[in-house]
Chains A and B, each alone.
Chain A
Amino acid sequence: MEVLLQQIVNGLMLGGVYVMVAVAFTLVIGMLNFLNFTIPALFMVGAVMIWAVMQKGFGPGVDTFLNDTVGAQNKWIVGVVVALVVVSLLSLVIERFTYRYMKAKYGDATEHALPLVSSLGFLIIFEHFVIGRWGSDPLTMDSPFGNASFYVGTVQFSTPQTISLALSLAIVFSISLMLKKTKLGRALRSIAERPDTATLMGVDVNRIVPLVYVIAGLLCGIAGVLFAINYTTLDAYIGDKVATIAIAGMVLGGLGNVWGAVVGGLFVGLLEVLSIHWLGASIVKVPIWGMLLLILIIKPTGLFGHSAIGKGKF
């Protein structure tokens, strides 16, 4: 019983990472009707950036400089900042070549499979850039917080993991509040439903869409950073591994539904950890993808989706 309880806690902690990636996917799908494969890439870049800052990835010169200026124990803060700045900039580049280019050329970026293909291109390029620079072996880093943890009864809670889970839920909650209550949120929802009519209201769609990319990119970047800090081992393909599971979580919750992505993300985290516990690590993808295929057959709109795949469902 206690072992099971511990596994459930571990599963929810891992789920917190999937939640952010699933929400990133769902935002882009809900707004732009586009399964954006640069999301795993940005997750990986976020994780690799904080690793590189922490573990001399940018060379001994940079490392010495950081030790002298901010101090060894504060390097992780620099890592977080570098990771978030890099994913934001990359998000803007990606927007230009996926959404804006298609929109300018064909009038509507979302009715084509092309942005999906170009986003896949970005994913592969980013992965190979990282492999070219830092190799394909696992990259390990020392957690800046060590093994800090606390107990509730006999169940152990890792402090950084608990903070990460709380942070990811707080971020998703703020995004959902922003969508519901603010002028920007209304504009985003109106673009999700009818971008051309939103333009008639004076919404500058070409300015707001990059913002959606940056928000989604930051979600992935933060998730990547938290993953690196909490699990301390990563590689160039970590984005693929996490994102495929997060996609399963998103579909479970319902495409384009933010709270669905939260529930779905936590659920797949739980499912992963419990599957490893009961069935072993080698088979863990089978229950997750089996669950996904089952959902697609029984209820393709997911648990909370209220319409078929398409636009406008926040």
Chain B
Amino acid sequence: MLLEVSGLDVRYGRNHAVKSMDLTIGEGEVVTVLGANGAGKSSLLKAIQGTVKPSGGRVRLGGRDVTGWSAPRRVRDGLVLVPEGRQIFVSLTVHENLQMGAYSRREPVEAEISDIYERFPNLAQRRDMPASVLSGGEQQMLAIGRALLAKPKLMMLDEPSLGLSPILVQQLFQLIDQLNRDGLAILLVEQNTFMALQSAHRAYVLELGETVLQGTPEQLAEEEKKLEAAYLGAS
């Protein structure tokens, strides 16, 4: 297993945001975590990355227990998060943002940055401009490009489709499929259930911090039918 999360708890004071979560991701898998606002999706990703300290449970990366590790150390070990809202550095240029992505690496990355520019020509055009000039879609490209430069084994994306037009959402999911075909494992948090289930091999559904459903997209569709039937039967 690439990532194994067991019994993970996140609390903010009395607010129990993630409740005893179990989750696994294998090599080359795309796993999606779905849930409404406030379900605890971001908290889960932050606890996996190590920027929020879980109050209980363990996180294993590539078989090693990383629960006590700092977030930067997890980045160096190939775990990279594209945060909610993209969070690019607007006071840095586009190019400097990409260089920041490679901060944890010692070897030269200029060739890889060129690859990113080839993949996202819009970014190449704006290479030396402050990243504040980018549109929302371009910012998302930059955020993903920046994450790729950290050479992730597992990339976590927190609601990447948020605020993008339908066409850009299409392109985003094509990109996710492509990255996965190249071997990258992806943990995708989404509220766009329809699109996420098309790209994912497996899914978890969170409600108020608890896993209420999990399985392959087909299994989830099956469950949904049952639920609907139950609701219909009850009414």
Contacts and interface: CB of A to CB of B under 8 A. Distances in A.
A201 B146 CA distance: 8
A197 B70 contact: no
B72 A190 contact: no
A201 B101 contact: yes
Contacts of A201: 75, 100-101, 103-104, 146, 150
B33 to A, nearest CB: 18
Given A183-B99, A186-B96, A202-B150, A314 B71 contact: no
Interface residues of B, number: 23
Interface string A184-198: 001101101110111
Interface in B76-112: 76, 80-81, 83, 87, 89-92, 96, 99-101, 103-104
Contact of B92 (A189, A200, A313): A189
Contacts of A314: 91
A217 interface: no
A78 interface: no
Contacts of B91: 189, 192-193, 312-314
A92 interface: no
A130 interface: no
A203 interface: yes
Interface residues of A, number: 20
Contacts, number: 63
Given A200-B81, A201-B150, A203-B103, A189 B76 contact: no
Nearest to A187: B103
Majority DSSP secondary structure for residues of A touching B:
helix
B100 A187 contact: yes
Contact of B89 (A183, A194, A199, A204): A194
A183 B87 CA distance: 19
B198 interface: no
A161 to B, nearest CB: 36
The 4 closest A-B pairs by CB, nearest first: A202-B104, A202-B75, A197-B87, A202-B72
Interface of B: 49, 51, 70-72, 75-76, 80-81, 83, 87, 89-92, 96, 99-101, 103-104, 146, 150
Given A186-B96, A200-B71, 8 more contacts: A187-B103, A189-B91, A193-B91, A200-B83, A200-B87, A201-B75, A201-B101, A312-B90
19 contacts: A186-B100, A186-B103, A187-B100, A187-B103, A189-B89, A189-B96, A192-B91, A193-B89, A193-B91, A197-B89, A199-B71, A199-B72, A200-B51, A200-B83, A201-B100, A201-B146, A203-B103, A204-B70, A312-B91
